[in-house]
Amino acid sequence: MSNKKYNYNEEIQRRRTFAIISHPDAGKTTLTEKFLLYGGAIREAGSVKSRRSNKHAVSDWMEIEKQRGISVTSSVLQFNYQDHCINILDTPGHQDFSEDTYRTLIAADSAVMVIDSNKGVEAQTKKLFQVCKMRGIPIFTFINKMDRLGRDPFDLIDDLEEALGIRSYPVDWPIGNGKDFRGVYNRLEKRIELFNEGNHGQSMANIVTGEVTDDAFRLLLGSDLHDKLLEDIELLDMAGDDFDLHKIINGELTPVYFGSALTNFGVEPFLQSFLDITPPPMARKSNLGYIDPEDRNFTGFIFKIQANMDPNHRDRIAFLRICSGQYEKGMTVNHVNMGKKVKLAQPQQFMAQDRVIVESAFSGDIIGLHDPGIFNIGDTLTFDNIPLEYEGIPQFAPEFFMKISTINAMKRKQFLKGLTQLAQEGTIQVYRRPFAGTEELIVGVVGVLQFEVLEYRLTHEYGVEINTQRMPYRFIRWVNDDFDMNKLNLTMDSLVGHDKDDRPVIFFQNEWSIRMIQERNKGLVLRETSLVTL
């Protein structure tokens, strides 16, 4: 047991918990790695990448991820930088896993959006941004790859507004572009930060503070770069938005930074400014009102379950976001949804390459709990037997459906176990309906790649071969509890079933039949999402 004494409020104030989102290849991994490098959590660049190709450290079903070059899962890393304790939540770049992204964002207090300066806002950026927007958290923009000749910075700013509909405030403005990218001008601090080629930009060569018109700036930059900077800043000050912290906190204005994760240019200025502006953990909504992170009583919720992170151990980890109080090693907490006490033995945190056993953790931290199958996404854990529940995590309405059965009837038990576990992890949703005297199972997903993950994992982890058959349905709606299903008047092309909690659902092929059934059935309320808890 650690004897270390903590100042509880200070510990919370120094915490920053955020997610990183980007279109694949924009540079999310490289940027994360540089953060870790500055925080001293890794010694060499390339360590995080090599972890991906290291067979022992990668879960086997992530083969899919490697084959396709996309990140299917999201992981969590913690490190210290200066006075801050930082939790980074990585998110899958592919839109088919946007449900997973949403769950991850629920655990985050802010998001960093990485954009390739050559490409601007890309398809996946849009989807992921929409998910962030639903959460209403602060979103910071890092425009990456400035070491290559990219698009005009003003174009990129316009793109944010046109493609994403968000106003922006460039905090760091680039001086030069491509090979001539020399540094940034910080509009809040009113200073120029020039990069030092010598040590790969890990320290800033020159920091000069003053009005942008100062002669010192001209001397430093030369007249061409200085003239361009003067012109740019004047335009931004005149035509751009003002810095407005309130709007940033509400996700209505995004602070923008320019840099190059590869050469380190602009990364540390970004990190420092981001940590200054982005808030520490804030109060969270529960059924008993807002819970203050400084409340001493321990509470938290499960937002993600990930199986087989280590193929040698066949383990399952439930990720818990602490919302108040302090976790101490070996503590027992109340599992509200099960109405049982559970001992949090050996929770883990994820540092750069390693998992470590957590001695102590505070509001804002994410810890990984060994899960023998008792946790569901959305479960709340509390210090005592109080009926507190954090806001449920909505299940997205799937848009693709298939019938599923096992080829080998002898393996039905394994098959059902696999399906149940994968549904608990939120990889897929499972529905049932009576069919020819037995039961038919239907799997629903938000993105078709989830079907592939399902097939792959059932085969590789559960040893089950499956038959699948795509169904024509594109919509599902949950039915209000007080509606009498016996009186339901359906259209020919729709279907009734039940979700895993036995709640009635209707499958539709098109919006026309949704409207039709709505008109035919008085008192019927059709819902697009169902809450996992509450």
Residues of the binding site: 22-29, 90-94, 144-147
As measured in angstroms, the least distance from the Cβ of 221 to ligand GDP is 22
First to last CA, the chain: 36
- Angle, CA of 268, 265 and 252, to the nearest 5°: 60
Q: Which 132-151 residues touch ligand GDP, going by CB under 6 A?
A: 144-145, 147-148
Looking at beta carbons only, is 260 or 376 nearer to ligand GDP? 260
Q: Which 364-383 residues touch ligand GDP, going by CB under 6 A?
A: none
Q: What is the C-alpha separation between 226 and 228, in angstroms, rounded?
A: 5
Tokens at residue 172, please? 């760091």
If one asks whether residue 260 binds ligand GDP (CB under 6 A), the answer comes out as: yes
Q: What is the C-alpha separation between 148 and 248, in angstroms, rounded?
A: 29
Looking at beta carbons only, is 97 or 431 nearer to ligand GDP? 97
Looking at beta carbons only, is 62 or 397 nearer to ligand GDP? 62
If one asks whether residue 26 binds ligand GDP (CB under 6 A), the answer comes out as: yes
The CA R_g of the chain, rounded to the nearest whole Å, is 25
Distance of CA 245 to CAs 130, 250, 252, 293, Å? 21, 9, 10, 21
Q: What is the C-alpha separation between 32 and 94, in angstroms, rounded?
A: 18
Binding mask 67-96 toward ligand GDP (x if CB under 6 A, else -) reads --------------------------x---
If one asks whether residue 28 binds ligand GDP (CB under 6 A), the answer comes out as: yes
Looking at beta carbons only, is 45 or 230 nearer to ligand GDP? 45
β-pairing, 183-186 vs 172-175, is antiparallel
- 17, 18, 27, 153: residue in contact with ligand GDP (rule CB under 6 A): 27
Residues touching ligand GDP, count (CB under 6 A): 16
Paired with 88 in beta bridges are 18, 77
As measured in angstroms, the least distance from the Cβ of 386 to ligand GDP is 41
Q: What is the C-alpha separation between 494 and 500, in angstroms, rounded?
A: 19
- 11, 14, 19, 22: residue in contact with ligand GDP (rule CB under 6 A): 22
Looking at beta carbons only, is 204 or 381 nearer to ligand GDP? 204
Q: What is the C-alpha separation between 397 and 189, in angstroms, rounded?
A: 46
Residue 195's H or E segment, with its range, is strand 191-195
- The neighbour count for residue 437, using CB atoms within 10 Å, is 5
Backbone torsions φ then ψ of 409, nearest 5 degrees: -60, -30
Backbone torsions φ then ψ of 339, nearest 5 degrees: 65, 35
As measured in angstroms, the least distance from the Cβ of 45 to ligand GDP is 10
- The neighbour count for residue 416, using CB atoms within 10 Å, is 15
If one asks whether residue 261 binds ligand GDP (CB under 6 A), the answer comes out as: yes
- Is residue 390 within 8 Å of residue 534, measured between CB atoms? no
As measured in angstroms, the least distance from the Cβ of 48 to ligand GDP is 9
As measured in angstroms, the least distance from the Cβ of 30 to ligand GDP is 3
If one asks whether residue 266 binds ligand GDP (CB under 6 A), the answer comes out as: no
Which residues carry a binding-site annotation for GTP? 22-29, 90-94, 144-147
As measured in angstroms, the least distance from the Cβ of 453 to ligand GDP is 18
Which span sits near ligand GDP by CB under 6 A: 28-36, 58-66, 342-350, 472-480? Answer: 28-36
Q: Which residues bind ligand GDP (CB under 6 A)?
A: 22, 24-30, 93, 144-145, 147-148, 260-262
